[in-house]
Amino acid sequence: MSEREAEEKQERERRTFVNLVAAIAILILAIAAIWLLGFLDDKRKVQACLEAGRRDCLQRFDPAAAPPK
């Protein structure tokens, strides 16, 4: 294998690694964005409930906070 072929192979491996790291970073950002949008939607629902004058808003939107029946 010539020196040029070895350099090209090393460059391809480096590019592959960088692309993999970039794909992982984008995946993490997408998951964080989905979680953030869900969190903000829940808060928006609670805010709308409070603005409507209800007092049981947290129990309505959080099943774990509901009193046992």
Segment 10-68, tens digit of pLDDT: 999 999 999 999 999 999 999 999 999 999 999 999 899 889 888 888 776 666 655 55
Q: What is the pLDDT of residue 27?
A: 98
* pTM, entire model: 0.67
Residues 50 and 57 sit within 8 Å (Cβ to Cβ):
yes
Residues 19 and 30: their CA atoms lie apart, in Å, by: 16
Q: How confident is the model at residue 1 (pLDDT cuts 50, 70, 90)?
A: low
Domain boundaries, the chain: 3-65
DSSP, collapsed to helix, strand or coil, labels residue 31 as: helix
Q: Which token pair is 61?
A: 């939107």
According to DSSP, residue 64 is labeled G
DSSP, collapsed to helix, strand or coil, labels residue 62 as: coil
